[in-house]
Structure 1
Amino acid sequence: MKVASILLIATICGSLNEIKAFGFLGGLKDAAKGVMDNMGEMLPTSPDQYSCNRDISKDFEKAAYDFTMRLYKRVAFYNKDHFVISPLSMWLSLAALAEGADGLYQGELLATLNLPQERCLREKYYQIALSRETPGNDVRFNRERLMIMDQGQRVNVSWAEYVKNMHLLDVSFAPLRTDPVTVWTQLKNLLGARAFPTIAGNSLLVDSLDYEGLWTTAFPVARIERGPFFDDLGNKIGMVDYMKIKKRVKLAHLPIIDAKVLDLPVGNNGRYRMMIAVGLSKKGIRTAIELLVNTIITEALSLLQESVIPLEVAIPRFDLNFEYEASGVLDEIGAGSLFKKPEATWLISYPPAQPTTFYQRVSIKVGSGGVESSSAPSGGLGSLNPITSFGSIASGMATGLAAAVGRDFIANRPFMFGFFDSETNTCLYAGAFSQPGAV
């Protein structure tokens, strides 16, 4: 993907950060107390303080879904519908830069992110977003979100401390221009990347997520079966290991994309959920992705129903490690001034930072393990009902679901998936699977 060009970041307000040898994991050195005492408030705030008490949960949901869908559709287009991304983390990084933008260019970034003008309200958005990934013995999130600047840069300490204290972004330094080979090698080791794009500027944004999680209850290991995987036209394109269960599950039919959706609980007490969508026609996953709208998740959740009898479920066991350079895609969805408009004024660093790269790597592992065993009481993903006692009677019973859903969920053709926290249904990562055997 073509790397976009110049971001001019001008106007330094504050003291100079001490530059040390390469080792950006340590972040910024704490600024001396009182350095910024006379600077006043740098970033714009709303004069209407009453608005800070407004409930923004629905506004945040809309903002997050809208950004997710726009980014998802463009990345899918360029990567043949086989990928996984973390839109929320990228949204937070861009929000950090918006907090240091001036005037017109801040407005452009805020509009792209669907963020309000009032800083106090934006902080409420950030608090919701940043509280979604809570690791434990059931789910693991290993996250890095960094802005790397060349050692010749002098950072605006007030901005850097703000985004660090809000946990939006870590700002660090490395010899990008004097020793780029060493920097790139260490970044690849840090992020677990297989490749790293060419860096032309004096700064860059990087983001990575490694995810591993356990279903609320396990798939029975004895029923891992190898079988064929097909394209949307029914042609066999590879073999995968299917995790199979027969279980009462939640399913929905989404007419807008002509697909059926499976809802699977993840972690202790189902604190997360994975939703998987398989198309029902030969139009295929490409058409379904193009038809996605930012209300699709809300619609799916409203339509989900639990089957009254156990249904056959089979989904592939897979690892997906996806890396991409996002500056071109971000330009397409409205963040063009970040990489393209040298006249933009920012309150980040001096000499002007010129990031030409926004790099993200996301790695997920989807396996059969669960927090509870597969013999747990009914209600979890892998808990097996005594279906043998139903015999032929079960096969003739109504499912209690829409007729279009059918009597099973077999993900043996290209499918979409998304991972959400169950409290706010915020999407933490999303992707599509269409190429068995790809790594």
Structure 2
Amino acid sequence: MKQLIFALLLTCCGVQISTQQYHQFSPAIYDQRSCYINQDLTAEYRSSNYQFILPLYKSVAVRSNLNFVLSPNSIWIIVAAIAEGADPVTQQKLFQLLSVPNDPCVRQVYYQLATTRALPSNDVNIKNTRLWLFDDGTTVNPTWYDLVVKNSLLDVVRAPIRHNPIATANEIKRIMSSSLPRLDLSGNSVILDTMDYNGLWATAFSDAVIERAPFYNLQGQPIGAVDIMRVQRRVRIAYHEKLQVKVIELPVGADERYRMLFAMIIGDDIPSVVGAVTSDFVFEFLGSLRPSLIPIDVAIPRMVISSEIDMRVVLEDLGIKELWTDPAVTRYMSSPPALPSSFVQRTTLVLNNTGLEYAYPEPQSAYNTRTGLDPVLGREFIADRPFLFGLFDAETWTCLLSAIYTKPTYS
């Protein structure tokens, strides 16, 4: 359906989509219909996912001046699609980078888990588009095409990149909702990825308590102003003494099927915190979250944050270099071999105070009432200084969005 819509849009703009012509390639790719796995592989999938997305996150953090939003799971899925069609040597390299097994049936289970974490609904609007756009002079391997499309890894479409690059670029900009200043159409294909998030909290922030307030840097100096959303409620919260990071969990959506985690830096060193994040660190923190016995004051900036990230240079940081220049790498994907000249991800996240349930005020607790928490956590979580945050699927703890907020960006 997405391919049809995209084709119609390009046609409306004067861009003609060539009819897909199939050609037989080798080697053959596995038959998905023969796979049967009677085993819960969630933990193995999650471990593989984090082994890739954490180095990805750190590379983006270094290049972004510590203010960005990223959809790491979406990049994991796209790199998996690339691996499935790469030449045998590169395929093994990418499988190792993704930490996925050689067993194609197990990989298929991983792909089903990864691609079903972010589904749009009335209460949580998550829209993710993953496209590999080929020039219409390129013939795509039908076996690889079927694998990546049927597993929802990618939508593969074609457009006249070579003979009508202006119209193609304009339509890509519209699809990406972005000017894409670094878009390079010099190759015979481009890879495009978008993620848009706007969800309802399980419990709303108070409508009556949104105030303009200063936002500080880690040295305590005011650097701007934000609209602070406030609520008083019981939350799950934890503190990491070595890194001096305070973390809270806020449920999102019906049945709390998503969780937003906020990590506020109490110390003065963001790069050290980012560098220390490992999969063990993440799961240790998740395991250390404890509910407060009484409502505490929670304040989060209302924001719209958007990032355009050149994923080609990020993946080159991770060792994926031959994909862009060596025809041998993609000779089993298409004829002539695909040489993508761009890979861009655009992610936009909206946080506001709306929720599924009204934030009913709870009776005030006496100040000396125990919170049930580490004393260093106090009785509040006020995010008025740099913090890290992310959106997670509560079933598998897949990280759907990850961000660092160091500068006021609300609009």
- Partner secondary structure for residue 55 of structure 2: helix
Of 202, 205, 212, the residue aligned with 2:188 is: 202
Q: 1:424 — aligned with what?
A: 396
CA distance in 2, matches of 1:28, 1:296: 49
**Residue-by-residue CA offset, 1:92-130 (whole Å, 9 max, x unaligned):** 111111111121110011111111111111000001111
- Alignment of 1:400 onto 2:372: yes
Listed one character per residue, the Cα deviations across residues 46-95 of structure 1 (whole Å, up to 9, x for unaligned) are 9x989x44432111111111222111111111111111011111111111
Q: Structure 2 residue aligned with 1:257, among 239, 243, 252? A: 243
Larger RCO, structures 1/2 (Cα 8 Å, 6+ apart): 1
Superposition deviation, residue 200 in structure 1: 2.1
Describe the SS at the equivalent of 2:156: strand
CA deviation digits over 1:210-255, x for unaligned, max 9?
1110000111110001100001111110000001112211101123
CA distance in 1 between counterparts of 2:91 and 2:241 reads 38
Sort the Cα spacing of 1:183 and 1:49 in 2 relative to 1 into closer, same or farther, 3 A. closer
Residue in 1 that maps onto 2:384:
412
Amino acid at match of 1:428: L
Structure 2 counterpart of 1:168: 153
Tell me if the contact between 1:84 and 1:431 (Cα under 8 Å) persists in the aligned partners: yes
Q: 1:279 to 1:150 in 2, by over 3 A?
A: same
AA at the equivalent of 1:357: S
SS of alignment partner, residue 91 of structure 1 = helix
Contact between 1:263 and 1:276, CA under 8 Å: does it hold in 2?
Answer: yes
Alignment match of 2:252 (pick from 255, 266, 273): 266
Structure 1, residues 283-317: CA drift from partner, whole Å, max 9, x if none?
A: 2x222112111222211110001111221111100
1:30–1:177 distance in 2 versus 1, CA, 3 Å:
closer
Is the 2:61–2:67 contact (alpha carbons within 8 Å) kept by the matching residues of 1? yes
Residue from 117, 135, 153 that aligns with 2:138: 153
CA deviation after TM superposition for structure 1 residue 148, in Å? 0.4
Structure 2 CA distance for aligned equivalents of residues 273 and 286 of structure 1: 24
Which of the numbers 288, 291, 308 marks the counterpart of 1:323? Answer: 308
Map 1:219-298 onto structure 2 (within 5 A).
219-283=205-269, 285-298=270-283
Matched, 1:91 2:76: yes
Indicate yes or no: 2:199 matched with 1:186: no
Aligned counterparts of 2:254 and 2:355: Cα–Cα separation in 1: 9
Match of 1:301, SS? helix
Work out the percentage of aligned pairs sharing the same amino acid: 36
Choose which of 363, 368, 379 in structure 2 pairs with 1:386.
Answer: 363
Map of 1:118 onto structure 2: 103
Q: Post-superposition shift, 1:280?
A: 1.5
Partner of 1:74: 59
SS of equivalent to 1:221: coil
1:5 corresponds in structure 2 to none
Contact 1:238 1:437 in 2 (8 A): no
The match for 1:10 is none
- State the distance in 1 between where 2:191 and 2:330 align: 18
The question of whether the paired residues in 1 share the 8 Å contact of 2:305 and 2:409 is answered with: no
Residue 168 of structure 1 aligns to a residue whose secondary structure is coil
Partner Cα separation in structure 1 for residue 331 and residue 217 of structure 2? 47
Distance 1:406 1:101 in 2: 53
**1:304 aligned residue (271, 289, 297):** 289
Mapped to 2, the partners of 1:28 and 1:414 lie a distance apart of 49
State the one-letter code of the partner of 1:209.
M
- Give the TM-score normalised by the residue count of structure 2: 0.91
State the SS of the aligned residue for 1:362.
strand
Q: Secondary structure at the match of 1:338?
A: helix
1:358 is aligned to 2:343: yes
Task: State the Cα distance separating 1:335 from its structure 2 match.
Answer: 2.2
Contact 2:237 2:289 in 1 (8 A): yes
Confirm or deny: 8 A CA contact 1:23 1:173 kept in the other structure. Answer: no
Of 65-74 and 220-229, deviating more is: 65-74
Structure 2: which 5+ residue stretches go unaligned?
A: 1-6
CA distance in 1, matches of 2:18, 2:41: 32
Secondary structure at 2:49's aligned position in 1? helix
TM-score by length of 1: 0.85
The equivalent position to 2:42 in structure 1, one of 27, 46, 57, is 57
- Structure 2 residue 85 is matched with structure 1 residue 100: yes
- Contact 1:82/1:432, CA 8 A, preserved across alignment: yes
Confirm or deny: 8 A CA contact 2:259 2:392 kept in the other structure. yes
Q: Distance in 1 between matches of 2:254 and 2:202?
A: 6
Please give the residue correspondences for 1:133-148 in structure 2 after superposition, counting only pairs within 5 Å: 133-148=118-133
Question: Residues 28 and 257 (structure 1 numbering): CA distance in 2 closer, same or farther, change over 3 Å?
Answer: farther
RMSD: 2.6
Q: C-alpha separation between the residues in 2 aligned to 1:271 and 1:142?
A: 16
Is the 8 Å Cα contact of residues 320 and 364 (structure 1) preserved in structure 2?
yes
* Distance across 1 between alignment mates of 2:204 and 2:293: 21
**Contact 2:21–2:140, Cα closer than 8 Å, also in 1:** no
